[in-house]
């Protein structure tokens, strides 16, 4: 990877955990639009999984991923082994101290430390000029932007919109692990977000919006609601009262053992 990097000019990186779907490929297309070369990393990063999470069952299909990336005209693929990424004596971590503690960080302690550390390592190994991350992982994108700002990393961070299945379910590698019944129920996340987007311009308060979304999710008996949050779309600060600025609604819901997230930015009247 280092030798390849030295021989080429502008590089845009798309970091992934593999088992690729059109959400990932949309980021590849966005990366290509930057001009220059596109590199994709595939690494199921153990340090971002908690001890009771789905590291061992995380879906993988390397040969299919490679075919998809070849067909998409990606210039380089980086698929390291865990032992190549983590020195057994490693003791350095990267953490966005405040952002890592809230929202998903509260449900998954240590998750964003794992993400920030591995992305820093990928940036140092590949030395991309730009990197593309999905808005699907809204807080992750905020963590990366904060880290890049705070540590003066010379990488342009680009966000890509959420790609969805025809019934609204946000594409995710984890969707294949849903039972048929759970798969049929899972579009409730998108439905709840769509309802909220329609309600937002009516002058509704943030807490009213939040309880409406929660009620929609809880009406689906298969959904185990983990969290429903409404935050300022830019700062991720908590908000209450009527919306005055764009807000993001962040959902985390389990179906069986499968942890799904989704989000949508909603706008008050003036900006709708």
Query: Among all residues, which ones are annotated catalytic?
Result: 24
| Residues in 18-47 at the binding interface with ligand AMP, rule: CB under 6 A | 23-24, 26-27
Q: Which long-range contacts (CB under 8 A, 24 or more apart) does 210-216 make?
A: 210/249, 213/249, 213/251, 216/188, 216/191, 216/192
Sequence-separated (6 or more) residues with CB below 8 Å from residue 249: 193, 196, 209, 210, 213, 228, 229, 230, 263, 264, 266
CB of 41 vs ligand AMP, minimal distance in Å = 9
Please check whether residue 223 is in contact with residue 255, taking contact to mean a CB–CB distance below 8 angstroms.
Answer: yes
- Please give the Cα distance from 202 to 270 (Å, whole number): 10
Q: Which is nearer to ligand AMP, 61 or 205 (CB)?
A: 61
Near ligand AMP by CB under 6 A: residue from 12, 16, 47, 96: 16
CA geometry: angle at 247 spanning 245 and 252, to 5°? 170
CB under 6 A: which stretch of 51-59, 155-163, 178-186, 208-216 binds ligand AMP? 155-163
Q: What is the largest CA-CA distance in the chain?
A: 56
- Tell me which residue has tokens 């993988």: 60
Assess contact for 135 and 27: CB atoms under 8 A: no
- Contacts to ligand AMP from residues 167-186, by CB under 6 A: 170-173
Please tell me the count of residues contacting ligand AMP according to CB under 6 A.
17
In the complex, what is the shortest distance from the CB of residue 195 to ligand AMP, in angstroms, rounded to a whole number? 20
Numbers of helices and strands, H then E, in the chain: 10, 8
209 near ligand AMP, rule: CB under 6 A: no
213 binds ligand AMP (CB under 6 A): no
Reference 79, options 5, 16, 25; nearest CA is: 16
Nearer to ligand AMP, 209 or 251 (CB): 251
Provide the mask over 81-120, with x wherever binding to ligand AMP is found by CB under 6 A and - wherever it is not: ----------------------------------------
Report the residue number, 160 or 187, with the smaller CB distance to ligand AMP: 160
Residues 225-254 that bind ligand AMP (CB under 6 A): none
Binding site for ligand AMP (CB under 6 A): 16-17, 23-24, 26-27, 133-134, 136-137, 160, 162-163, 170-173
């Amino acid at each position: 990877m280092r030798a390849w990097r030295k021989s080429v000019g502008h590089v845009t990186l798309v970091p992934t955990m593999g088992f690729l779907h059109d959400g990932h490929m949309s980021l590849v297309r966005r990366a290509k639009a930057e001009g220059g070369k596109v590199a994709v990393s595939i690494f199921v990063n153990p340090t971002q999984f908690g001890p009771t999470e789905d590291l061992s069952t995380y879906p993988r299909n390397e040969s299919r991923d490679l075919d998809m990336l070849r067909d998409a005209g990606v210039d380089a693929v980086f698929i390291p082994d865990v032992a190549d990424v983590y020195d057994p004596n490693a003791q350095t971590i990267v953490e966005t101290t405040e952002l890592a503690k809230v929202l998903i960080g509260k449900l998954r302690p240590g998750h964003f430390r794992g993400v920030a550390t591995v992305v820093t390592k990928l940036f140092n190994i590949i030395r991309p000029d730009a990197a593309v991350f999905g808005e699907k992982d809204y807080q992750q994108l905020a963590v990366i932007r904060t880290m890049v700002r705070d540590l003066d990393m010379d990488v342009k961070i680009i966000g890509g919109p959420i790609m969805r299945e025809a019934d609204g379910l946000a594409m995710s590698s984890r969707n294949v692990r849903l039972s048929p019944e759970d798969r049929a129920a899972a579009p409730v996340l998108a439905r709840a977000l769509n309802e909220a987007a329609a309600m937002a311009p009516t002058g509704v308060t943030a807490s009213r919006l939040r309880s409406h979304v929660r009620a929609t999710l809880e009406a689906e008996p298969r959904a185990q609601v983990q969290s429903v949050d409404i935050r300022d779309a830019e700062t991720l600060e908590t908000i209450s009262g009527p919306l005055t600025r764009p807000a993001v609604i962040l959902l985390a819901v389990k179906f069986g053992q499968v942890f799904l997230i989704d989000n949508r930015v909603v706008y008050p009247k003036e900006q709708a």
